[in-house]
Amino acid sequence: MLQLEIVTPEKKIFSDTVSDVYLPGVDGEMGVLELHAALVTALKPGELRYEKDGKVEELAIGSGYAEVTSEKVSVLTDSAFGEDDIDEEVEVAAMQRAEEQLKGVSAADAEEAAHLESVIATNAARLLLKRKSR
């Protein structure tokens, strides 16, 4: 069994043992099982899946990091939402707002642009999860 912890700046979202975890790594999706080699990876906004007692659960997470050891996976992310916590209209509105802002950002302000792009990608990941389940 593998200990999975998901933490955001606001609170601890999840802490339990699971049988496997799939993480949205920056270089593509990555599956983690027990006794995985020690690893630190950057995560991009996307879908995190884990299996507990034969049931697969999905969360839409923002960008962040995962620390993997042989018995534990710690996920640090800006946000993590289950399907039920996502409101489609809110996400669409937030995404449009961020896109508007992105157009107004000057090319010199790379950091702000990168921030907004990550906001948009996070919203997109949530929408994808929400729409997939219908």
What backbone torsions phi and psi does residue 116 show, to the nearest 5 degrees? Answer: -65, -40
Report residue 55 as tokens.
Answer: 């049931």
Helix axes 88-104, 110-132, angle to 10 degrees: 160
Q: How far apart are CA 95 and CA 23, in angstroms?
A: 23
Stretch that binds other proteins, among 22-30, 50-58, 88-96, 121-129 (CB under 8 A): 22-30
CB of 132 to other proteins, least distance (A): 25
Q: Which CB atom, from 17 or from 70, has the smaller least distance to other proteins?
A: 70
What backbone torsions phi and psi does residue 101 show, to the nearest 5 degrees? Answer: -65, -40
Residue of 5, 34, 47, 117 that binds other proteins (CB under 8 A): 5
CB of 39 to other proteins, least distance (A): 5
Q: Which residue has the tokens 């990550």?
A: 118
CB of 83 to other proteins, least distance (A): 23
Cβ 125 vs Cβ 49: under 8 Å: no
CB of 67 to other proteins, least distance (A): 5
Instruction: State which of positions 29-88 bind other proteins (CB under 8 A).
Output: 30, 37-42, 65, 67, 69-70, 72, 74, 76
